[in-house]
Amino acid sequence: MEDLLAYLHFVVLPQFIDALIIGVALALVALGLTMIFGLLDVINLAHGELYMLGGYAAFTLLGWGAGYWSALVLVPVLVGLVGWALEELGIRPLLPRADRAIVTLLFTFGVSLIFRDIAQVIWGTETRSVAAPLTGIANLAQVFVPIYRIFVFGAGVLAIAVTWWLVYRTQIGAVLRATAVDPSMVASFGIPIRLVYGFTFLYGCGLAGLAGVLLSPIYAVFPTMGHDFLVMAFAVVIVGGMGSIIGAVVAALLLAQVQGLASLWIPPVWAETLVYGVMLLVLVIRPAGLFNRLGEA
């Protein structure tokens, strides 16, 4: 019995807490992805590269002498604007097409390739790093957690809460949700749909940028970082239900736990494969994911 408690306390609990923090980080990346899909039917394959841009923007700003905290505010705005420009220039002309889900997916894939290569031209191939603004380790009942990770967790939860509040408790959110269900009805009220779409991209990509700044001190910055993250973010969005905000959060926490806890007992590479297995299982059993998409309460 004592052994079991010790095992739970010293092996399983730390694993659980670490995975919880990873889950929140993952949710942050997945949130923008799922919002954009929910409103525009667009699978943004360049989302990982916007996350990468966030990391590089933070690296550059800090190199110019800006502080971490000002980068934390500035970078999401910058990346959001890049996302907005993408929507304005590339996505919007494609939306009237009947097969818009497919063509926008292909378009954003092209964008992702270009961004990844441009990053290599501008910032080179070496790994870059951003120093964490907070150091030290907290000892929570013999479970050690770095202070910065606790901060990332808090900031992530806050960003998720703000997003939830924005979508479900404000006027803007009501418009967003209505647009997800029936854009033409919203337009008939005289609300400019293009602004709604532009805002969604700005906000969703801004979240990717925020994730880029928050995670760069932990995960480092390099050209393929977004590509690596995107597959996992996809699994989250699929399991949670494409377009569902709550689904993305729940699925991110769930999949991070699956991978974290499974790697206690099976070889880690198979734990990673297991995550894709869960994704596939959900796709097969409930293709639309565990939760309903935006607007369909």
Partner 1 sequence: MLQAQQQAQTTDIESRPAGTVAGRLLRAVRSGGSNSTLLRQIALVSLLLAAIFPLFGGSFFTRLAIEALLFGCIALSVDILLGYAGLLSLGQAAYFGLAAYVAALMYLHVTQSFWLVLLTASASVGVFSFLLGAVAIRAKGVYFALITFGVAEILSKITHNTRAIGGSDGLIGIPVPSIRLLPGLEIEFANNYVFYYLVLGTVCLLYLGTRRILNTAFGSVLRAIRDNSDRVPYLGYNPFWYKLLAYVMAAQIAAFGGLIYPLLRGFVAPHLFGFEVSTKAVVMSLVGGVGTLIGPLMGSVIITFLESVVGSYTERHLILLGIIFIVFVMFLPDGLCGLAQRTFGAGRKVKP
Partner 2 sequence: MSKIATIAKLGVAGAFMLALAPAQAADPIKVGVVTPLSGTYAPIGKQVRWGAELVVKEINAAGGVNGRPFELLFEDEEANPPVAVRKAEKLLQQDKVDLLTGTVNSGSTLAVGQVAERNDRILVTTVSYAPSITGAQCSANVFRVNANAYMQSNALTSWLIKNAPGKRYFFIGPDYEMGRSTTSAFQNDVKRLGGTDVGATFPPLGAKDFTPYIGQIRAAHPDVIMTATAGNDTVRLLTQLKEYGILTDKLTLAGAAGAVTQENLGAMGGAGEGFLSAAGYSIDIDTPANKKFVSMFKKEFQHDPDLFAADTYGLFYLFKQAIEKAASTDTGRVRAAMEDATWQTPQGTKKIRKGDHQAVVDMVIVKVKGNDFQTVGKVPGEEAVGPDDCQKF
Site string for partner 1, 145-174 (x = CB under 8 A): ------------------------------
Q: CB of residue 290 vs partner 2: minimum separation in angstroms? A: 24
CA distances for 9 relative to 23, 87, 138, 146, 271, angstroms: 20, 48, 16, 18, 22
C-alpha span between 280 and 103 (Å, rounded): 23
CA 123 to chain centre: 23
Paired strand residues for 143: 140
- Given candidates 158, 172, 231, 264, which one binds partner 1 under the rule CB under 8 A? 231
293 binds partner 2 (CB under 8 A): no
Contact criterion met (CB below 8 Å) for 197 and 90: no
Q: How far is the CB of 240 from partner 2 (least distance, A)?
A: 19
Nearest to 184 by CA among 54, 65, 96, 52: 96
Q: What angle do CA 76, 78, 80 make, to 5 degrees?
A: 65
- With CB under 8 A as the contact rule, the residue among 107, 153, 197, 219 that binds partner 1 is 107
Q: What are the phi and psi torsion angles at 211 (to 5°)?
A: -60, -40
| Interface contacts to partner 2, rule CB under 8 A | 10-11, 14-15, 18-19, 21-22, 117, 120, 125-129, 131-132, 137, 144, 146, 148-149, 217-225, 228-229, 232, 259-260, 263-264, 267-269, 271-272
| Interface contacts to partner 1, rule CB under 8 A | 41, 43, 90, 93-94, 97-99, 101-103, 105-107, 109-114, 116-118, 121, 231, 234-235, 238, 242, 267, 269-270, 272-273, 276-277, 279-280, 283-284, 287-288
